[in-house]
Amino acid sequence: MTARDALPPHRALNLNTDKLLADVSAQWDADIVPQLIEYVKIPAKSPGFDHDWAKHGFLAQAIEQARAWVAAQGVAGLTLEVLQLDGRTPVLFFDIPATGGVDANRTVLLYGHLDKQPEMVGWRPGLGPWIPVYEDGKLYGRGSADDGYAVFAALSAIMALDKQGVARPHCIGLIETCEESGSYDLPAYLDHFAPRMGDVQLVVALDSGAGNYDQMWATTSLRGLVNGTLTVNVLTEGVHSGDAGGVVPSSFRVARQLLDRVDDSRTGVVKPVAFNCEIPAERVTQAKQAADILGDSMWQRFPWDSCCGDDGKFTFVQPATKDPVELVLNRTWRAALAVTGAEGLPPVESAGNVQRPYTSLKLSLRLPPLVDGPKAAAALKTTLETDPPYSAKVTFHYEQAATGWNAPASVPWLSSLLDVASQTYYGKPAAYMGEGGTIPFMGMLGVKFPKAQMLVTGVLGPKSNAHGPNEFLHVPYAKKLTAAVALVLAGVR
């Protein structure tokens, strides 16, 4: 099937897919990459990581850069607004009328965000979170792939269609600045803009992953998340470890025992029923298909450390399993606990022989898509605080409790369009897989627009390392994805 075959006849006649990609690519090279280079320089950390974000003004700076660029494109009929409701993070909203006689009320909502994760350590020499480096088709730096590119790609896709006179639906864009903190401000903005959104047929969220850089990937599910801090107190002040050792229980050991209530320290399997759900048969089938495509790259794509044994041979750290199907399901439909930070432990070079008074651990518990986030957070608090070892003082405070998302069944026209778009620009059919991350926006949109189709896609492919050091945007892939999204927009019915 060709792109021309898949599109409604009145829209297909003037669509030149080669020209579409050429126009998109030219705009990326001449305009979008330079814009993203400037965006990377802005330390626009999400409010959860910069409590003085309003005073620092970096989120506002990122929003203004995007606003100025959108305004400069001269899209016919476009209306553009930066809005900041009282006490909330700002959003960018754009509204572009339908063309070619398409029903003006039928809408595509395009989503992205401009807030960023914090710096993280481990960047290779010459790179840094706010130091843009463009080499070998990759733009390194925090936020370009997650998710600064989204607003530029969305408008570029629309402009490429308009340049050819291809009919398309009413398009609106909503670009937020607190996604990395849980999108807690979005419901208010959704309510505010709802009267202007019309009948949303399709949501395109450009904030997800790609299993490889060889085809278009559609995200079918997202895990939920509980973020919180576990604190174990055993003393009011530190004491000599020689005096207290064997008498005072280690706060770290108590914390370790408590974590064993959640996941098995030998296997990582999260045990309590409250944090698990049955995996739908359709998702298991899709996991097998994705595993067939990705194979060993499911685990080989990570930067494993190694050690040298007595025999002089290097041994790499091993994954939880090498079964690609199990790995797909582990990272998309099973719970996983990570300790992402700690307090109460002095740096190694200044750690004396002291029995420390407390240990605090920042916990990140990923939840299967169908597990209720707030209920899981309450269950985690109960699990950790009830009947603590040695009657230690234990508290668990959770800052974020997000429910995951499971995509509605795709209608045939959308599935067909995704395959056509992927075949057209990558030479392979579209692939489907859940993602391990959390996008609270999708659950909110599912509630707000229960009849809308959802296309969650993105550029976060192997080794792109969102949230970590050496994050990069794979520009050649992003160009093709922009063209593929344009083709999908042209086929919305």
Name residues whose C-beta falls within 8 Å of residue 128's C-beta, 6 or more positions apart in sequence: 119, 141
Cis peptide before 147 (omega within 30 of 0): yes
pLDDT tens digits, 359-381: 999 999 999 999 999 999 999 99
Backbone angles phi, psi at 221, to 5 degrees: -160, 160
What is the residue-wise DSSP string for 247-303?
TSPPHHHHHHHHHTTTB-TTT--B--GGG--PPPHHHHHHHHHHHHHHTTHHHHTS-
Locate 230 and state its tokens.
């576990």
**How confident is the model at residue 165, as a pLDDT?**
94
The pLDDT of 450-474, averaged and rounded, is 95
Cβ neighbours around 70 below 10 Å, total: 20
Backbone angles phi, psi at 262, to 5 degrees: -95, -55
Higher pLDDT, 333 or 438: 333
- Domains of the chain: residue spans and CATH: 3-222+404-490 (3.40.630.10), 224-276+334-402 (3.30.70.360)
Cβ neighbours around 392 below 10 Å, total: 20
Q: In angstroms, rounded to a whole number, what is the distance separating the alpha carbons of residues 161 and 336?
A: 42
* Residue 18 predicted with pLDDT over 70: yes
Q: How far is CA 40 from CA 142, 181, 198, 284, 406, in A?
A: 6, 19, 34, 38, 31
The pLDDT of 412-418, averaged and rounded, is 93
**How confident is the model at residue 10, as a pLDDT?**
37
* Residue 401 predicted with pLDDT over 70: yes
Mean pLDDT of the chain: 94
The answer to whether 189 touches 402, Cβ cutoff 8 Å, is: no
Of 186-200, 390-404, 440-454, give the lowest mean pLDDT range.
440-454
pLDDT tens digits, 127-182: 999 999 999 999 999 999 999 999 999 999 999 999 999 999 999 999 999 999 98
pLDDT band with cut points at 50, 70 and 90 for residue 4: very low
Q: In angstroms, rounded to a whole number, what is the distance separating the alpha carbons of residues 344 and 231?
A: 9
Model's pTM, two decimal places?
Answer: 0.86
**How confident is the model at residue 16, as a pLDDT?**
95
pLDDT tens digits, 49-101: 999 999 999 999 999 999 999 999 999 999 999 999 999 999 999 999 999 99
pLDDT tens digits, 321-350: 999 999 999 999 999 999 999 999 999 999
Q: In angstroms, rounded to a whole number, what is the distance separating the alpha carbons of residues 319 and 304?
A: 9
**How confident is the model at residue 257, as a pLDDT?**
98
